[in-house]
Structure 1
């Protein structure tokens, strides 16, 4: 059953090219070498159709798809027999593939204690380079590695890291196009629900949920941005039982940030009202709007056809529906 589920789960339905078939989908295709794979796995695609699927099967493996739709067989990119988990993959505009994962430092034993954050890079139409250690985490499966690239090849990687004193601390590393990742930079606090995005000029964003001391019962959504050289201090986007942020880049260097408002529950059972705000290029946040009309986070989500969020509803018309936090029509 596991193998059959893996074939279905790792099957990739690619949007057909060409304006006449823009709304058609190809039949699902099993990713070569993925039989017997379970969760988690990740998929990424570039504008030219280059795609990559990363998964765990006797190590971290990545299968690449060429722009013409042909899949290559999965290649093992991790080394040794150490336990690995939580791969995250990204593809930039030049067809370069990046994959990150957590790797135990213990051989043949349970992944306890400090784990390594590893990265491997495959330049367009070439072989994979040797993996490198970028940072460390006290977490294994839930280290929340998050990769993002832009069209020219800049990349950002963030994860639930560890401070010099052994405490949880969110960290991020930046990679200029075609170069190596730099040293990890602390984002100033612990957090989870981590998300990242990177714009065309290399400006990067990270959003997460933060539990406030000393009770650690109240949660807030926090955001940090990286300019040319360093990260800003975390700023509060929403406070008072808010969590589960999502990021989407918008035109004119704007960023859409969505989250759950009035959040209840714990872990994967959390529910809340879907809310969204827009951050302008100068860092200002628009007043938040609640998009959902019930506590499951599902409901009507209005947006402007030109790409903004929060367009006016017309009487008697549904502007949008479903559980998506962002109705994204950014062109």
Structure 2
């Protein structure tokens, strides 16, 4: 910025018109307060959002643990039932027929038990699927609310901010007037006429500067609304993308349930010494670990919600806020 003396001398030689001038904008730029909304990344760094993610992580872990326990219990029960029926069928038949007959009965029973386990696994998967999708929506709704709250807080303070800026402009213009008058008094023996000119010019310059300030304040308010809409649109786009990605991931997991259940049942029957060839059609080498006999192995919830929520998710309907 120019030194005060230079500003004073320039203004003494050229009187500004009623429209805003570069000098008006110079004054306004020194008092106008910049109001900005946080970016999507900054919204995700806020404590309340982090708290929500931790809460969601705990909820998902609790549900997953409960479902794993329930499924494992059912697998053990059904394997025990198959084992008992197998031994019972061997005792009932002649030695030459017992092996084949017992195996046939075991095959039928294994198929029945596997279908029951598959049905249970599908129900448990749907519970977890519902929670993950709800968490995704909840997380993006939280980000949307944080952006709305920030904009609302700015708007509440706007009136006081505008008044303060106006007073600062008036003080600056008055200091400029006083400096000009002091300079005239030092240089001239009869300064009255020039002082009147300075006062008259001061009024016009102040009116022009305030008008420029008000224009900038209106622009700032409008930009704040546009920025909010931009943030909401970004959140909505991310939500739709990540919701689609999560739904695809969940669908792929659902398609693998038959293999997972068959492998879990195979492993348990193998431990009990019961032949289980009937389940080989439902499984394939390397499809899943035999030791993994719980609910399907989802990505850790922190990883999935961060992978999904780092890009984040929220209700698909986002309205423009005035």
| Bin for the TM-score computed over the shorter chain | under 0.3
The structure richer in strand per residue is 1
Question: TM-score scaled by structure 2?
Answer: 0.14
Higher relative contact order (CA 8 A, sep 6+): 2
When Rg is computed on C-alpha atoms for both structures, the one with the higher figure is 2
